[in-house]
Amino acid sequence: MAVRRGAAHEQIVEYNVVSSFTTDREVAWEFGSRVWEVEVPLAKIVLHPGMLPAGLLGGECECIVLGGDYRVRDLAH
């Protein structure tokens, strides 16, 4: 993962191949002490909550996205 600085409190992060994100901020904080808000283009989303039957990948509100350069913003807890 490569990181480049953007505007204040923003960075551009290069994610490889596929990555997993959550749509629930509280769930994100369970995975670490640093959480980013990520802007993902719709065309890069492979899987999102609601695409599969209830119970499959639904517990963590998980999204699977294709790699690429994404704008991220640090979130405060």
Closest CA to 23 of 45, 42, 48, 46: 48
CB atoms within 10 A of CB 65: 20
CB 42 within 8 A of CB 2: no
Query: What pLDDT score does 2 carry?
Result: 57
* pLDDT one-digit tens code per residue, 48-65: 888 877 766 667 788 999
| CB 23, CB 61: distance < 8 Å | yes
Q: What residues of the chain score a pLDDT lower than 50?
A: none
- What pLDDT sits at residue 46? 93
